[in-house]
Amino acid sequence: MKMLSSGILVLAFILGCEQQGGLHSKNNVNPLRDLSRPCLRLIGHWQNEAGDNLYYGAVDPETQIGSFFIIRPDGSVAKHRYKILSEIPAGERVIVLLLFNDGTQRKEIYYIDKSGLSMKTEMKLSDVFISGKCRYVDAQVRPEKM
């Protein structure tokens, strides 16, 4: 009898999740995603205004380095890395250093809203400040096809 009532409770929980938007909401956001800090909100699949798909993997706790993939609209794929330089844990800002395969690097500032659904980017290229916007797509940390 106890197993039957436990099973009914589990079923009720699952159905309740489905009525609240399922295990993934309408915005394709995993409700189990850790949104407590900007560096954790960064992890996942993003798309920028140019149509690039950006994938940020979790960082290694010791090195603070994670994987970073870019898929351009033409289908080209580049695998790089990124390093967390600093963040405001209770805020929205995280500063990263993109580590490109050719040995170059670039510092970027990301402002990731607390919902984890949008991000503003800022970078400096040749004395010109460039800003952009990205939207969160899903929890994938690497492209399916490479």
Q: Give a yes or no: residue 103 inside a domain.
A: yes
Question: What's the rounded Cα separation, in Å, for the pair 27 and 1?
Answer: 39
Identify the domain containing residue 107 by its residue range.
33-138
What's the pLDDT band for 145 if we cut at 50, 70, 90?
A: confident
Q: Give a yes or no: residue 145 inside a domain.
A: no
Question: What's the rounded Cα separation, in Å, for the pair 140 and 131?
Answer: 24
Q: Which range (13-17, 33-37, 79-83) has the least confidence? A: 13-17
Averaged pLDDT for residues 95-110: 96
Averaged pLDDT for residues 58-79: 95
Q: Which range (25-34, 55-64, 105-114) has the least confidence? A: 25-34
pLDDT at 66 over 70: yes
Question: What's the rounded Cα separation, in Å, for the pair 25 and 19?
Answer: 10
The predicted pLDDT at position 43 comes to: 98
Q: Give a yes or no: residue 146 inside a domain.
A: no
Q: Give a yes or no: residue 144 inside a domain.
A: no
Tokens linked to 115: 């919902």
The predicted pLDDT at position 75 comes to: 93
Q: Tens digits of per-residue pLDDT, 104-113?
A: 999 999 999 9
Q: Give a yes or no: residue 93 inside a domain.
A: yes
Tokens linked to 32: 């189990």
The predicted pLDDT at position 19 comes to: 33
Q: Give a yes or no: residue 120 inside a domain.
A: yes
Beta carbons of 141 and 43 less than 8 angstroms apart: yes
Mean confidence (pLDDT) of the chain: 84
Same domain flag for 16 and 38: no
Same domain flag for 37 and 8: no
pLDDT at 131 over 90: yes
Domain count, the chain: 2
Same domain flag for 23 and 50: no
Q: Give a yes or no: residue 106 inside a domain.
A: yes
Contacts 24+ apart (CB under 8 A), 53-60: 53/137, 53/143, 54/134, 55/140, 55/141, 55/142, 55/143, 56/82, 56/141, 57/141, 57/142, 58/141, 59/83, 59/84
